[in-house]
Chains A and B, each alone.
Chain A
């Protein structure tokens, strides 16, 4: 009885995920696909919990169920206003995509069976953990043992935001990013935008801080903070800062800059780029995490908001 129940739970969860995934690609209508995709991200996050990867579950919950939902719903709303949100159809264009998806799934299944089980990283990681400076093995790998990857990822995020900003027209460059949000004063949305952010701010800061020893981290906490910022902006209080504002630019580059400087300091003082002496590891890692969380939060929020759109584009709608 006690061994069958976890299995049953996992089987039910798998059925839920497969059902949501199938409905996302098989159903007609863009909006239905968007909503199914949101629920799919949510179910995936629960699956990560079942697999024991709580840090990944946290990232999936924050990104998949939170930010992606807002992004896709806003995109659908815009398509609908442009009268372009018809069903993309299941004609000839769908087949290459379906074949590519099926091919990728097949390759993954093949890899699962063909590749040898990886050497358990446990012993090596456990041996190195006392020198990591932090108690969470995920944070130790991300910000100490494999810091190079994380540094490049933080720069990739910045590059993605620059890509979004490239869509800005010259005359809109000094306008606030995204649509000009407005709400009924004293309405439900304005109230929501006042009540939730303080709580979200605390949760986000907690996740960044807790990441050093337990579940959490710069990315998870930063994503929650990005969600909070989005909520404030969508409630129209206050509008997002202009993308030419120096303070905003500083917040965007703070994470990669602090990370790079710590890496260079390691090259000069500790004998290797991104090398952290064990005695200083904890303060260095926490400093990098705080700066990274700030940059991740601002970058993700601005990416979801989109490029600046001046009054001209408002008039066209």
Chain B
């Protein structure tokens, strides 16, 4: 009986993953797609935790690794959206659009002028 419940809940999680995939397709903003990918990461961890008692408790290790590293993509995304690809949105002034905001960090203005 317990196993049936685990399978049913796992199926429910897969449905939510499918809904998140639809959001990745639809967007419209890049952040929407990225957040949907993060939701899939979280759902994937949930699915793995549900599969662990059904298959092999070692699956928990996979869930652990995924939980750790799925967040890495979000960090990579946030980095890539900053003007020089190496910054942090919290550094730039919020009233400027991200694409035109100057690099706020003084370490990066000491090189050759922007060409």
Binding site for B on A (CB under 8 A): 1-2, 5-6, 8-9, 12-13, 15-16, 19-20, 23, 27, 31-32, 35-36, 38-39, 42-43, 45-46, 49-50, 52, 54, 57-58, 61-62, 65-67, 69-71, 73-74, 76-78, 80-81, 178-184, 187-190, 192, 196, 199-200, 203, 207, 210, 214-216, 220, 224, 227-228, 230-231, 234-235, 311-312, 314-317
Identify whether the interface residues of B are mostly helix, strand, loop, or mixed. Answer: helix
Residue of B48, B62, B111 touching A314 (CB-CB under 8 A) = B111
Chain B residues closer than 8 Å to A231, beta-carbon distance: 72, 75
Residue of B18, B33, B71 touching A32 (CB-CB under 8 A) = B33
**Do B81 and A12 have beta carbons less than 8 Å apart?**
no
Chain B residues closer than 8 Å to A234, beta-carbon distance: 75-76, 79
Contact A61 B62, CB 8 Å, known A52-B56, A179-B85, A234-B79: yes
Identify whether the interface residues of A are mostly helix, strand, loop, or mixed. Answer: helix
**Do A183 and B51 have beta carbons less than 8 Å apart?**
no
Chain B residues closer than 8 Å to A188, beta-carbon distance: 90
**Do B24 and A23 have beta carbons less than 8 Å apart?**
yes
CB distance from B106 to the nearest CB of A (A): 10
Contact A66 B61, CB 8 Å, known A32-B27, A78-B85: no
A197 nearest CB neighbor, chain B only: B68
Chain A residues closer than 8 Å to B114, beta-carbon distance: 315-317
Binding site for A on B (CB under 8 A): 3-4, 7-8, 10-11, 14-15, 17-18, 20-21, 24-25, 27, 30, 33-34, 36-37, 40-41, 44, 47-48, 51, 55-56, 58-59, 61-62, 64-66, 68-73, 75-81, 83-88, 90-91, 105, 107-108, 110-115
**Do B44 and A179 have beta carbons less than 8 Å apart?**
no
B115 nearest CB neighbor, chain A only: A316
A311 nearest CB neighbor, chain B only: B111
CB distance from B33 to the nearest CB of A (A): 5
The distance in angstroms between the C-alpha atoms of A120 and B110, with both chains bound, is: 64
**Do B40 and A42 have beta carbons less than 8 Å apart?**
yes
The distance in angstroms between the C-alpha atoms of A178 and B87, with both chains bound, is: 13
**Do A311 and B48 have beta carbons less than 8 Å apart?**
no
Contact A189 B8, CB 8 Å, known A46-B51, A180-B107: no
The distance in angstroms between the C-alpha atoms of A196 and B7, with both chains bound, is: 32
The distance in angstroms between the C-alpha atoms of A69 and B73, with both chains bound, is: 5
A179 nearest CB neighbor, chain B only: B86
**Do B91 and A12 have beta carbons less than 8 Å apart?**
no
Chain B residues closer than 8 Å to A190, beta-carbon distance: 88
Chain B residues closer than 8 Å to A311, beta-carbon distance: 110-112
Chain B residues closer than 8 Å to A181, beta-carbon distance: 79, 86-87
Residue of B36, B48, B75, B81 touching A46 (CB-CB under 8 A) = B48
Chain B residues closer than 8 Å to A12, beta-carbon distance: 11, 14-15, 18
B80 nearest CB neighbor, chain A only: A77
